[in-house]
Structure 1
Amino acid sequence: MARILALHPQNPQARLLDQAVEALRSGGVIAFPTDSGYALGCGLGDKAAIERMRAIRGLGEKHHFTLMCRDLSEIATYARVGNVEYRFLKQYTPGPYTFILQATHEVPRRLQHPKRKTVGLRVPEHPLTQALLAALGEPILSTSLILPDASEPLCDPYDINDCIGNRIELILDVGFCADHPTTVIDLSSGAPVLIRRGRGEVPAGVEEAE
């Protein structure tokens, strides 16, 4: 089963963060808390770990993974950010939003939408997630922790261990972490388009996808 590390949600212990970083850099898949619930995560360039996350979630090739980034400058490394996109990102990061943007060459092709060449990015508010990203020094590739036959995500670290502990390396435990889905906005084609309503308020001028 996966190792469970109990971390303080506001001031996570540096030695435990170091263990999480080592797991990610060694090709591991971890379950970790965010401001939108528990997520699965792995290193950006680790193909085997990415395929494991696809298998756990039952995801197809067209699914957008999300790059968890520390800040706006890191987003700009992995996505093409023009004036319109920059204004949105500056106003709504960090926060409960996921943005779909055109990927740069820094994003491995297998992580991009196969036809649109887009990628999902977000800057989380959760203190532990921010501390983990700072310790790692690069984005974490992530996806929500909802299993293929489930209608609700896993919110308790011990339930996560019971269900998928034999398929991942590490669980970062801050206790129960309620699911608060992000608001997803597509900024890849000019005018912003709402893809999913979530916890984040829908900005004025954003049209809903048909």
Structure 2
Amino acid sequence: MVGDSRLGISARIIAETPRLLLTEWNKADVHDYAQLIGDERVMRYIGNGEARNISKAEAEINGFIAHEAEHGFSRWVVREQSHGRFVGMVGFMVRDGEVDFGGRVNRAFWGSGYAPEALVYALKEGLAKRGIGRAIALTVEKNERAWKLNEKFGLKYENTLEISGVKHVKQSIDANKYWGERVFEKGLSILEPITKRDELRKARLHE
């Protein structure tokens, strides 16, 4: 496993964005991940909406690592480039015969633009480099901000369905349309003002 001095741990880099690193998992991530899924506000629209404990975090990380070994892709860790801080996770999982795309970000980073930045580069990694022909996203209908974000960056509405009595929006994207509709390039143009605003904010903090 390849390390990086920005991370402070051994973790292979999957992709690099203007401000973030997408990496494979390390067992040392368990406490940061437990904090993420232990936050009720983060988990509000995930599964049964309940926060999860550190045992569940450890089991999920083991599952992500095993999934990567079996399929060549998984949910990946999102880290800040500058300090290697754990931001969240994003990526793909095979579920019920389809490839599910999703992720979540630690509440401390909400409003930073990290979620769309990770989304854009994770989609490119999966569809352009990992051989994923089609991916779907299932989002609780009430979580309008999340499925509208997906829509903004190339995932198309398919239908609305009920899962365990809760309405979900199903969206999808396939590799042919990803290239044909220049999804990555459009995503970059949307991200550019977001990253520039963040750079200006950080510069002002150091004045």
TM-score by length of 1: 0.27
Q: Whose helix proportion is higher, 1 or 2? A: 2
**RCO (CA 8 Å, sep 6+): is it higher in 1 or 2?**
1
